[in-house]
Amino acid sequence: MTYLMSLLLFGFVLGLIAVASNPSPYFAALGLVVVAGLGCGLLIGYGGPFLSLVLFLIYLGGMLVVFAYSAALAAEPFPESWCNWSVVGYAMTYLILVVSISSYFWGDWYEASWVPADELKVFSVFRGDAGGVALIYSSGGEMLLLSAWVLLLTLFVVLELTRGTSRGALRAV
């Protein structure tokens, strides 16, 4: 289990570097898909299969549609790929930064922190994420509505930022 989680975390960090180093939305979308899939794998490994499913369905089903729409508004004729020297330079800079920061904290990591939530109790009746699902709708209803409002506001902000000087979907009549 430790090797699988290490592999998922390594791929997660490389995917984040791929998203952060590429200025083109086309190639950064592929990095976002990889990061979301590996993040879901990490959540499954830590005992949250329902949360992983919700993240995968909502993020990849909803937010990538918005991302694809905003990328279509900011269409570039020749986008920069991962083979361009500027993108490789940014990726190497981020990789060196991540390695140096992780080497600073390397001695404080222990293998006991890799234990999933469900393995801490021998005969547990509930899963680690079953109680959280009920709390989302009972105590966290206001936060759920606030989050939906923030996502809608973010949609309009992204559409306005990517519109530029051209005529987009949101324009003054």
* pLDDT on residue 119: 58
Q: How confident is the model at residue 97 (pLDDT cuts 50, 70, 90)?
A: very high
* pLDDT on residue 142: 84
SS3 per-residue string spanning 123-137 = CCCCCCCHHHHHHHH
Q: What sign has the CA pseudo-torsion 9, 13, 15, 16? A: positive
Give 44-92 pLDDT, tens digit per residue.
887 777 778 888 887 777 766 767 666 666 666 676 776 778 888 888 9
> 133 is written with which tokens?
């699902």
Question: Residue 171: helix, strand or coil by DSSP?
Answer: coil
Helix 64-73 / helix 25-45 crossing angle, nearest 10 deg: 170
* pLDDT on residue 93: 92
More confident site: 135 or 3: 3
Q: How confident is the model at residue 104 (pLDDT cuts 50, 70, 90)?
A: confident
Distance CA 12, CA 6 (A): 10
Total number of residues shown for the chain? 173
At the second CATH level, the architecture of 2-163 is Up-down Bundle (1.20)
Give 107-157 pLDDT, tens digit per residue.
766 655 665 555 555 555 566 566 666 776 777 778 878 888 988 888 788
* pLDDT on residue 152: 87
112: DSSP letter: G
Reported pTM? 0.63
